[in-house]
Amino acid sequence: GSIASLKNLGLALPSKGNINGSGTAVAATTNTHNNNNSNAGSGTESLAKQTAYFMDMRARYNGDMVQLKEIQLNNSTELKSKAMDLLVLAHGLRHENINALIGWLSDHNRTAMVFDYCSRGSLQDVLIMDDIKLDWTFRLSLLTDLVRGMRYLHSSPIKCHGALTSRNCVVDARWVLKITDYALPSFYEAQGITPSQKSAKELLWTAPEILRNSKAFRCGTQAGDVYSFAIIMQEVVVRGEPYCMLSSSPEEIIAKLKKPPPLIRPSVSKGAAPPEAINIMRQYDDHSNEIPHLGGGHSVAEKLKLGLAVDPEEFSEVTIYFSDIVGFTTIAAHCTAVQVIDLLNDLYTIFDATINAYNVYKVETIGDAYMVVSGLPVRIPDHAEQIATMALDLLHQSGRFKVKYLPGVPLQLRIGMHTGPCCAGVVGLTMPRYCLFGDT
C-alpha cells in the first residue's frame, strides 16, 4: 500500500504562531528539569546533574496522540519521488522496537514526519531524570531493546539509521525502547535538502571515519550505527553524556576523533559497572585495532606488535565450513557489477552477524565463497557441533534472503564441511593475514 497521507484526516495541529500554547486537541510543550548542581557549560557533566531541555511537538490523529518530526522542504510542500519511496519503505517497518512511522504531514503551516507518540520521552530524558531508578536489569532491558531494533533495521530495506543518538531512542508507557527518526539522512539526500550544520556536541555519537568522509556523513553506514550504539551504551552504563569521563570540550573531542593520534574513546571506571564487564572491556580495549585485521587471537596480534616472529602452528583437529551460491555465475550475468557487489555485501553482512553467535573464526570470503573454521586459534572440543549448527543457521538465513534485483529468483546455498588437521600461520608483512594450510 501507499504511505498514509495525514492531510484532512483528523490531524489537529498547533499554529506556528502559537507553538507553545495549549489546546484541547494538541499539546506542543517545552519541558525543563533544573538542578542547582547543573553545569551546562561543560561537555563532560553527568546527565543526572545537568539541565534537561527538549521540545515535544505533539498532535492528535484520529483521537490518538502522535509525535511530529518537522522537516523544512526549502519553501515547498512537495516530496520528490525518491523521498516518497523512502517514506513508503519506512512506513512498512513493523517491529516492537521500531517506532512506527504513521505518515507524512503536508499543509500550509508545516511539513513533518508523523510517528507514534512515546510518553516517557527519549532515552536521554530517562537518563536525566533523578527520580527514575536505573538498576542493571533495567539498563540491560533498554539496551537489549535497542540491539533488537537495530538488528531489524539493518536487515530491512532501510539498511541503516544514519543518525542514531540517545535522543532518537524513545521509551513508551510500558518502558519499551523504540528507535525513531530512522533514515533521516537518506531522506534529506533523496529530497535534495541540506540539513542544518550540527554542533560539536551533536556529533559526539558520530564515528570517526564518518566525520572524515562527507559522503558517508550524508547518509550514514551500518558500521557507523554500531559506533553510535557503543556511545549510547556508555551513556547508559555511566549515566553520563558521551565522553563525560574526559575533561575535553566537545569541540576538542571531535577534532581528536577526526585527526588522531592520540586515539580518543570513552572509558568506564571500575565502580561504574560490574567487575566482569570491566574486565571484558579492558581486554578488548587493549587489542581492538589489531585483532580484526590479523585474526588468530591476542597472542598473534601482540607478537606482531612487538616485532616478533609468529611461528606456524599445527592443529590436530578442526572443522572447516565452505559454501558458495548455487548458480552464482547465472545470477551475476543478469546484474551489473555494482549490483553483484551489493548482493554479496547484503548477504554476507547477514552471515557475519549470524556467525557471531558461535565459537568460530571467519577465515575469508572470495567472490561468492564463504569460509569459516572452528577449533582454532583457540582449541575447543565441540568444533564440529559449532560448525554444523552454524551451517543450519546460515542455510535458514539464505532461504529468507531476497535478491532485490531479481525478484522471484531463490538464493540457494551449497555447503561443505570437513574435520581434520591443519596448519595456521600469519602470511605477509604489509597486510598480515592469518591463513590456513592443509588437506582439510
Q: Evaluate the CA torsion angle 53, 59, 63, 65 in order and state its sign.
A: negative
Whole-number mean pLDDT of the chain? 79
Q: Quick check: is 182 in a domain?
A: yes
pLDDT of the residue at 17: 39
Q: Quick check: is 36 in a domain?
A: no
Q: Give the pLDDT confidence of 376-395 residue by residue, as tens digits.
A: 888 888 899 999 999 998 98
**Ranges assigned E (strand) in 52-156:** 52-61, 64-70, 101-106, 111-116
Q: Quick check: is 14 in a domain?
A: no
260 and 371 fall within a common domain = no
146 and 95 fall within a common domain = no
220 and 129 fall within a common domain = yes
| Lookup: cell for 100 | 512506527
Q: Which CATH number characterizes residue 214's domain? A: 1.10.510.10
Q: Quick check: is 38 in a domain?
A: no
Q: Which CATH number characterizes residue 99's domain? A: 3.30.200.20
Q: Quick check: is 217 in a domain?
A: yes
Alpha carbon distance 328, 296 (integer Å): 30
Domain boundary among 115, 135, 160: 115
Q: Which CATH number characterizes residue 431's domain? A: 3.30.70.1230
337 and 398 fall within a common domain = yes
Q: Quick check: is 10 in a domain?
A: no
Q: Evaluate the CA torsion angle 65, 70, 73, 75 in order and state its sign.
A: positive
Domain boundary among 239, 263, 288: 288
Contacts of 32 (CB under 8 A, 6+ apart): 51, 52, 53
71 and 138 fall within a common domain = no
Domain boundary among 256, 288, 320: 288
194 and 209 fall within a common domain = yes
pTM, two decimal places: 0.56
Q: Quick check: is 126 in a domain?
A: yes
pLDDT of the residue at 108: 74
pLDDT of the residue at 373: 92
The structural domain count of the chain equals 3
pLDDT of the residue at 429: 66
**Residue 81 belongs to domain spanning:** 58-115
pLDDT of the residue at 231: 95
280 and 193 fall within a common domain = yes
Give how far Cα 177 sits from Cα of 144, 173, 327, 409, Å. 9, 10, 42, 36
228 and 282 fall within a common domain = yes
Give how far Cα 52 sits from Cα of 27, 109, 201, Å. 19, 28, 15
Per-residue pLDDT of the chain (440 residues; tens, 9 = 90+): 344 444 433 444 444 433 333 222 333 333 333 333 333 334 444 444 333 333 457 888 888 889 988 887 777 778 888 989 999 989 999 999 999 999 888 877 778 899 999 999 999 999 988 888 888 889 999 999 999 999 999 988 888 999 999 999 999 999 999 999 998 888 888 888 888 888 999 999 999 888 887 777 777 889 999 999 999 999 998 898 999 888 889 999 999 888 876 778 888 777 777 777 777 676 666 544 444 433 444 456 556 555 556 678 899 999 999 999 888 888 888 888 888 888 888 888 888 888 887 888 888 888 889 999 998 888 888 899 999 999 998 988 888 888 877 877 888 899 999 999 999 888 876 667 778 888 86
126 and 270 fall within a common domain = yes
198 and 307 fall within a common domain = no
132 and 265 fall within a common domain = yes
253 and 127 fall within a common domain = yes
Q: Quick check: is 320 in a domain?
A: yes
What DSSP string runs through 361-419? Answer: EEEEEETTEEEEEESSSS--TTHHHHHHHHHHHHHHHHHH---TTSTT----EEEEEEE
